[in-house]
Amino acid sequence: MSNTIPKIKKIGIAGAGGIGSHLSGMLYDFGVNRNQFPFTDYEIDIYDDDVVDFKNLLHQNFTEADLHTMKVDSIANRFALTPHKRFMTVEDFKNYDLIFCGVDSMTFRKALYEWSWDNPDKAFWIDGRCESRQGCVFNKTVPRKTLEKMLSDSTERNGCLLKYEKENNISHALPIIVAAMMTQTFLNYTRGIHPLPEKIFMV
């Protein structure tokens, strides 16, 4: 384990939904309110192409005042980020020192992993996933063979809730828990606890 403090200037957050919206708030809280890392020294971008809908209020970090606005606009205004009203792409990866993945797209996740394997000295990444009552957090230090088992060829974007949960207004704390684990992984990384233990954090 090294105590080398990584040089971070630019951070990209992919997704402003259940995980990304809570993650953004936690980064602001720990960076600005708690002074645990130099928040203002970083350029932090957030990407999402979606608009806040009433159903999002149940498990995402939005209020009724945000309805019908772009998710990234709401998050950027509240937490001092730069909004990008589109999906992050492979072409964007090279622009960042650290990438948070909080999207519901296996296609995107697979592209990020494969880009990382092809560019091992480039951006560190932290990937949070949740579906109903199952959640986990991966990071760049997890062995490739392990990560490959966690990928699929699915092109669907399913979100954090199952269909029956959406229909019955069932909510879980899991997106917040996953966002918190991603935040802690990030704090460890900024404090020089790197490489991180080669583990997958499951809940």
Q: Which residues fall within 8 angstroms of residue 17, CB to CB, at 6 or more apart?
A: 48, 50, 56, 60, 71, 102, 103, 104, 159, 160, 175
Q: How confident is the model at residue 154 (pLDDT cuts 50, 70, 90)?
A: confident
* DSSP structure class, residue 125: E
- Asked whether residue 4 is assigned to any structural domain, the reply reads no
Answer whether residue 179 shows pLDDT above 70.
Answer: yes
Which residues form the domain of 110? 10-202
Is pLDDT larger for residue 18 or for residue 163? 18
**What's the average model confidence in pLDDT over 38-67?**
96
CATH number at residue 138: 3.40.50.720
21 within domain boundaries: yes
Tell whether 1 is covered by a domain: no
Tell me, yes or no, whether 54 lies in a domain.
Answer: yes
Which one, of 113, 107, 22, lies nearest residue 59 by Cα?
22
Tally of structural domains, the chain? 1
Rounded to an integer, what distance in angstroms lies between the CA atom of residue 12 and that of residue 97? Answer: 8
User: Which pTM does this prediction carry?
Assistant: 0.92
Residue 58 covered by a domain: yes
The pLDDT > 90 percentage for the chain reads 75
- pLDDT computed for residue 148 by the predictor: 95
